[in-house]
């Protein structure tokens, strides 16, 4: 894996401590880059951290409002950046917004909403709160009616369904349109929820849990046929999404997964496990697309947080549907991580095989720095995965890799110390360059203290020949 990203823990620590104006500047710059088509996997981590800084300050994130953004604000708590093969209620892919918006406003959908879009745009430019509120309500009701009308034409007609799905860009987008319509139909309840539950709620005590549990109970009474809608909304408003688990356990008074599965609160577990699948997909895509260790570890740490909180709050049988879904996520992530980790030692051995021609016919071969960076990242990934073993199937792979790697690094270090003692001049300088790589690798694997001792041994060996 190439060195393309900074350490995620260090980056998160830096972003956590920036001032609110700096956080605003970061968000603005990232959005500008994205508009230019310059998107990076690390941007989502950066944006997430910057948003938390602003939200915890009590301020709002300033964004230029457009009719499309106002429309999306009606269901923003349900938006996700990826989709899984298995559809999930109360989850809408961000990639579906543009085709659905075009379907509703570009004149080829069930009803053309361009007139109300123009009206909302005028009110936004006037910055008239009353006008904006009225236009938003109208676009909400008309969009819900338009989607319902468009879908009603398709009832029982699989060919027409397929045609519309193709025009929109896929069956998943059509499903997302249905999700949006259901949410918009319940806007009155969600409007009350927005007042009762602010964005990015930090659940710090039992009193907050009880309050949110009461809010959820009331909304479930109002939306009985689609409990996933208020649950998905509340989950989207939490700073830590897994706090929804504490809330539903408080509401029901039980943590037994089999009892939760037969209750109206079951969608909460569905959504948490679905979102774990999205995090797992991000881990695997970071690995397979060579996005760098920082990106991989960020998503892996998020997945670990979800796994830990789920295990702490709810008892789920691995034989249940939820248990099987969890096993699938764990197996896929473990497989991809295991494949990456298994390459570390072979890559390391290949790297040190290149040093055999030192001094051959007067030509010195120095370490390839790109290869050094790649190995450092592979080692960082392997070492960092140790703390996640509780929720991954990597124990055997990492234990075996650790043992072989430790032995190999020590053997190579001893061999290079002998090379330093038996060489001088330019050849010794070249050997010291190679020895410095073993110090760098040892720092990742054994820690700073061992690396310092090893570096000192190299200095002693170099001075021995000089004296």
Q: Indicate the domain borders of the chain.
A: 8-56, 64-185, 198-332, 342-466
**Each residue of 364-386: pLDDT tens digit?**
788 988 899 889 989 999 998 88
CA-closest candidate to residue 267, choices 446, 275, 422, 2: 275
User: What span, in angstroms and rounded, lies between the C-alpha atoms of 238 and 220?
Assistant: 18
Cβ neighbors of 442 (< 8 A, separation 6 or more) are: 409, 413, 450, 451, 454
Is residue 83 within 8 A of residue 172, CB to CB? The reply is yes
Averaged pLDDT, 216-221:
93
- Percentage, residues of the chain above pLDDT 70: 88
pLDDT of 168 over the 90 cut: no
Cβ neighbors of 292 (< 8 A, separation 6 or more) are: 1, 2, 3, 4, 5, 41, 42, 286, 377
**Each residue of 319-363: pLDDT tens digit?**
999 999 999 999 999 999 999 999 999 999 999 988 765 555 557
- Dihedral (CA of 285, 287, 289, 293) sign: positive
Q: What is the pLDDT of residue 235?
A: 94
Q: What is the pLDDT of residue 154?
A: 62
- Indicate left, alpha or beta for 197 from its phi (over 0: left) and psi (-120 to 50: alpha): beta
- Percentage, residues of the chain above pLDDT 90: 50
**Each residue of 78-123: pLDDT tens digit?**
998 877 778 889 999 988 999 999 999 887 777 889 899 999 999 9
Is residue 238 within 8 A of residue 265, CB to CB? The reply is no
Q: What is the pLDDT of residue 333?
A: 94
pLDDT of 3 over the 50 cut: no
Q: What is the overall mean pLDDT for the chain? A: 86
Averaged pLDDT, 127-144:
92
pLDDT of 248 over the 70 cut: yes
* Helix 369-384 and helix 321-341, axial crossing angle in degrees, nearest 10: 150
């Amino acid at each position: 894996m190439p060195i393309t990203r900074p350490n995620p823990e260090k980056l998160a620590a830096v972003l956590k401590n920036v001032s609110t104006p700096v956080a605003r500047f970061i968000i603005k710059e990232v959005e500008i880059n994205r508009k230019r088509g310059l998107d990076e996997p690390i941007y989502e981590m950066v944006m997430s951290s910057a948003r938390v800084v602003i939200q915890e300050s009590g301020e709002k994130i300033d964004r230029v409002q457009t009719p499309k953004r106002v429309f999306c604000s009606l269901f923003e708590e349900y938006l996700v950046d990826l989709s899984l093969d298995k559809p999930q209620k109360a989850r809408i892919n961000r990639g579906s917004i543009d085709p659905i918006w075009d379907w509703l406003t570009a004149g080829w959908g069930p009803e053309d909403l361009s007139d109300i879009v123009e009206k909302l745009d005028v009110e936004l430019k006037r910055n008239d709160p009353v006008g904006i509120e009225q236009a938003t309500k109208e676009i909400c009701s008309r969009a819900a009616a338009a989607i319902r009308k468009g879908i009603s034409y398709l009832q029982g007609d699989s060919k027409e369904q397929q045609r519309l799905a193709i025009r929109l860009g896929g069956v998943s987008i059509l499903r997302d349109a249905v999700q949006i319509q259901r949410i918009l139909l319940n806007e009155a309840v969600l409007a009350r929820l927005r007042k009762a539950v602010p964005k990015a709620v930090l659940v710090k005590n039992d009193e907050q849990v009880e309050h949110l549990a009461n809010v959820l109970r009331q909304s479930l009474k109002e939306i009985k046929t689609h409990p996933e809608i208020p649950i998905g909304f509340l989950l989207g408003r939490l700073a830590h999404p897994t706090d929804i688990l504490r809330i539903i356990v408080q509401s029901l008074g039980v943590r037994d997964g089999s009892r939760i599965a037969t209750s109206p609160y079951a969608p909460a577990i569905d959504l948490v496990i679905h979102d774990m699948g999205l995090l797992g997909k991000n881990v695997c895509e970071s690995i397979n697309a060579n996005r760098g260790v920082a990106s991989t570890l960020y998503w892996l740490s998020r997945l670990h947080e979800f796994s830990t909180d789920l295990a702490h709050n709810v008892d789920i049988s691995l034989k249940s549907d939820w248990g099987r879904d969890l096993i699938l996520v764990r197996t896929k992530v473990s497989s991809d991580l295991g494949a990456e980790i298994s390459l570390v030692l072979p890559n390391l051995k290949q790297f040190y095989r290149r040093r055999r021609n030192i001094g051959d016919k007067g030509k010195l071969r120095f370490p390839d720095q790109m290869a050094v960076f790649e190995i450092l990242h592979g080692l960082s990934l392997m070492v960092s995965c140790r703390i996640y073993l509780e929720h991954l199937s990597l124990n055997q792979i990492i234990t075996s890799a650790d043992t072989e790697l430790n032995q190999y690094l020590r053997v190579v270090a001893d061999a290079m110390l002998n090379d330093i003692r038996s060489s001088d001049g330019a050849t010794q300088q070249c050997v010291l360059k190679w020895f410095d790589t073993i110090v760098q690798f040892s720092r990742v694997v054994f820690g700073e203290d061992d690396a310092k001792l090893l570096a000192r041994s190299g200095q002693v060996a170099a001075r021995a020949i000089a004296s």
